[in-house]
């Protein structure tokens, strides 16, 4: 679904720099030996103020590092000696130390504008930051990209990047982005490709806007002007019940079929000219139309899995044991801007503020699930037996993929539980956007004592998008990695 990973305040100048804060130090590391502690604010490394984790990693690779830091209001210095390339042994608070470069487009299809009021402030941050594209896979429109940005990307080889194309017709692209720079900003795409930067493109298809002839023109222009693109993900417009844009509507089944026909036709063209398929349709189009998913080899290595391309086939391969390793943790939407500073206590073997740093700060520990915050009462919740009946919680689209796989097992004790997304509404049916309120509603109607499996894709640092946590749910759940291998292992009989 076309859900941008990133309305925000006015763009923040790149000179507005904050400092990274140490949240954990590895015992016995170079940072530990130099006396750095959780809570220290790093002011500079070898006299340079790092703007983001990318620069941080370059700086801490040095063998000799002079560290200027602030602790308890005091400006201090220390020196670190280690082997070049050896880890410093420090976990810092965020990926971007200066402010995230916010988006100055006003796309009528942007999912951020369709969020309900009262959610966590970070979820309303709409970024257009090439660094988050490199680090997290966010998509950037390049409307705020500059010569200085190009120089840094090329010099530091920040590749791959993900670029929202939507349309190559300058007038249409400007209109879709509601930004006069939208029509010209794809010149940066050409520049990136000229310098050998790997770029993955995306087209969010809005029915009656950039589909049909406009989509064919975009595919033709890509072949003519940007043939070096690694891939193009074609994803459907995502609408919530809070959408206020009257021109934005859902695909009809005929329109969805037309999109698949166009993608498949252009794949044939790209294969003949370029030797590869280039363009791929999101799994949702196949679910909307009831058409079968392409064979696994048609996805050419599943390079666009994170964007909803080939997820169903990948999951099937994993579930049947035909994939050696899982695709990895899928962080879900909003992860890049919503991930809070890591909790030092969560890192095994890392030293927190209770160590000998001399900060005088007392560490705080969150109560366990079911416990009383005052510490006077602890509720013990017994986990269901391993051989108890199993309910697999998933979004409505996920259920349509998983249910046939589970049916093959012939296990009457295992059922798939679709969670209708009433929180967002609209056509929101992906598992990654499930929220605690909807899962609570569904679980409340389910029997106690069963095992309930929950994919981790809908959680960020233990929280759902609506702010609830697993501990708030009315039934105990087992949180699993979002892959077929993990699900199959969880369903293995007790031994």
Question: Could you read off the pLDDT of 62-121 as tens digits, one per residue?
Answer: 999 999 999 999 999 999 999 999 999 999 988 888 778 888 899 999 988 888 888 887
Kindly state whether residue 254 falls inside one of the protein's structural domains. yes
Q: Which residue has the higher pLDDT, 491 or 363?
A: 491
The total number of residues shown for the chain amounts to 495
- Asked which of 224-233, 258-267, 268-277, 361-370 is least confident by mean pLDDT, the reply is 361-370
Is residue 226 domain-shared with residue 80, that is, in the same domain? no
CA 93 to chain centre: 18
Say whether pLDDT at 411 is over 70.
yes
Segment 398-401 long-range contacts (CB within 8 Å, at least 24 positions apart): 398/430, 398/431, 398/455, 400/287, 401/283, 401/287, 401/311, 401/312, 401/315, 401/316
Say whether pLDDT at 241 is over 60.
yes
Is residue 248 domain-shared with residue 280, that is, in the same domain? yes
Is residue 88 domain-shared with residue 121, that is, in the same domain? no
Which DSSP category does 343 fall into? Answer: P
Cβ atoms 20, 97 nearer than 8 A: yes
Is residue 183 domain-shared with residue 83, that is, in the same domain? no
Q: What is the pLDDT of residues 141-168, one digit of tens each?
A: 999 999 999 999 999 999 999 999 999 9
- Asked which of 258-272, 388-402, 458-472 is least confident by mean pLDDT, the reply is 458-472
Say whether pLDDT at 219 is over 80.
yes
Say whether pLDDT at 392 is over 90.
yes
Report the pLDDT averaged over residues 371-386: 53
Please count the structural domains in the chain.
3
- Which residue stretches of 101-237 are H helix? 130-136, 147-156, 170-177, 187-194, 213-225
Kindly state whether residue 98 falls inside one of the protein's structural domains. no
Say whether pLDDT at 330 is over 80.
no
pLDDT at 381: 53
Is residue 257 domain-shared with residue 162, that is, in the same domain? yes
Is residue 88 domain-shared with residue 116, that is, in the same domain? no
pLDDT at 408: 96
pTM comes to 0.81
Q: What is the pLDDT of residues 4-50, one digit of tens each?
A: 333 233 333 333 447 899 999 999 999 999 999 999 999 999 999 99
**Helix (H), strand (E) at residue 319:** helix 311-319
> Residue 362 contacts by C-beta under 8 Å, 6 or more apart in sequence?
353, 354
Order of strands across the sheet that contains 451-455 = 414-419, 390-395, 451-455, 478-480
**Strand, helix or coil for residue 260:** helix
DSSP for 349-406, written as a single string: T-B-TTSTT---PPP--PPPTTB-TTSS-B---PPPPTTS-EEEEEEHHHHHHHHHHH
Say whether pLDDT at 488 is over 80.
yes
Is residue 293 domain-shared with residue 425, that is, in the same domain? no
pLDDT at 377: 40
Backbone angles phi, psi at 463, to 5 degrees: -115, 145
The CATH number assigned to the domain holding 241 equals 3.80.30
Which DSSP category does 237 fall into? Answer: B
How far apart are alpha carbons 76 and 68 in whole angstroms? 6
How far apart are alpha carbons 412 and 417 in whole angstroms? 14
Q: Which residue has the higher pLDDT, 369 or 219?
A: 219
How far apart are alpha carbons 485 and 466 in whole angstroms? 28
Is residue 138 domain-shared with residue 74, that is, in the same domain? no
Is residue 76 domain-shared with residue 116, that is, in the same domain? no
What's the mean per-residue pLDDT of the chain?
85
- Asked which of 233-242, 337-346, 358-367, 474-483 is least confident by mean pLDDT, the reply is 358-367
Backbone angles phi, psi at 403, to 5 degrees: -55, -45
Q: What domain range includes position 166?
A: 112-309
Is residue 476 domain-shared with residue 404, that is, in the same domain? yes
Is residue 49 domain-shared with residue 141, that is, in the same domain? no
How far apart are alpha carbons 383 and 450 in whole angstroms? 9
Cβ atoms 11, 129 nearer than 8 A: no
How far apart are alpha carbons 159 and 292 in whole angstroms? 33
Kindly state whether residue 128 falls inside one of the protein's structural domains. yes
Kindly state whether residue 480 falls inside one of the protein's structural domains. yes
Is residue 265 domain-shared with residue 214, that is, in the same domain? yes
Q: Quick one: what percent of the chain has pLDDT higher than 90?
A: 70
Which DSSP category does 425 fall into? Answer: -
How far apart are alpha carbons 68 and 73 in whole angstroms? 13
């Amino acid at each position: 679904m076309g859900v941008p990973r990133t309305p925000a305040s006015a763009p923040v100048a790149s000179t507005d720099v904050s400092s990274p804060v140490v949240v954990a130090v590895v015992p016995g590391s170079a940072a530990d030996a130099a006396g750095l502690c959780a809570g220290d604010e790093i002011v500079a490394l070898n006299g340079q103020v790092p703007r983001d984790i990318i620069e941080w990693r370059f700086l801490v690779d040095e063998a000799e590092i002079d560290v200027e830091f602030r602790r308890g209001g005091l400006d201090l210095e220390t020196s670190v000696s280690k082997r070049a390339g050896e880890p410093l042994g420090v976990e810092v608070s965020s990926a971007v130390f200066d402010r995230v470069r916010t988006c100055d487009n006003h796309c009528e299809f942007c999912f951020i504008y369709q969020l309900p009021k009262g959610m966590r402030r970070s979820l309303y941050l709409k970024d257009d930051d090439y660094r988050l594209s490199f680090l997290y896979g966010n998509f950037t429109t390049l409307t705020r990209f500059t010569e200085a940005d190009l120089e840094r990307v090329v010099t530091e080889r920040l590749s791959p990047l993900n670029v929202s194309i939507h349309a190559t017709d300058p007038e249409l692209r400007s209109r879709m982005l509601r930004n006069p720079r939208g029509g010209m900003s794809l010149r940066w795409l050409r520049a990136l490709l000229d310098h050998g930067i790997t770029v993955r493109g995306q087209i969010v298809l809005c029915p009656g806007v950039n589909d049909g002839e406009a989509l064919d023109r975009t595919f033709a222009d890509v072949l003519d002007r940007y043939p070096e693109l690694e891939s193009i993900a074609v994803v459907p417009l995502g609408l919530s019940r809070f959408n206020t844009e009257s021109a934005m509507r859902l695909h009809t089944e005929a329109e969805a079929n037309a999109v698949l026909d166009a993608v498949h036709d252009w794949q044939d063209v790209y294969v003949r000219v370029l030797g590869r398929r280039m363009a791929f349709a999101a799994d949702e189009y196949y679910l909307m139309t009831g058409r079968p998913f392409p064979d696994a080899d048609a996805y050419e290595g599943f390079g666009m899995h994170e964007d909803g391309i080939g997820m169903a086939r990948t999951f099937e391969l994993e579930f049947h044991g035909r994939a050696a390793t899982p695709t990895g943790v899928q962080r879900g939407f909003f992860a890049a801007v919503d991930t809070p500073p890591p909790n030092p206590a969560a890192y095994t073997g890392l030293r927190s503020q209770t160590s000998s740093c001399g900060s005088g700060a007392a560490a705080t520990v969150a109560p366990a699930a079911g416990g009383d915050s005052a510490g006077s009462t602890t509720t013990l919740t017994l986990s269901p037996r391993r051989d108890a009946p199993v309910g697999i919680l998933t979004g409505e689209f996920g259920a349509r993929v998983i249910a046939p796989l589970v049916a093959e097992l012939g296990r009457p004790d295992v059922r798939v539980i679709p969670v209708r997304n009433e929180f967002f509404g609209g056509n929101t049916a992906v598992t990654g956007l499930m929220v605690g309120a909807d899962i609570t509603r569904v679980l409340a109607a389910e029997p106690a004592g069963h095992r309930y499996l929950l994919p981790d894709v809908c959680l960020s640092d233990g929280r759902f998008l609506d702010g609830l946590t697993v501990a708030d749910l009315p039934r105990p759940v087992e949180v699993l990695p979002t892959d077929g291998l993990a699900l199959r292992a969880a369903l293995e009989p007790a031994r």
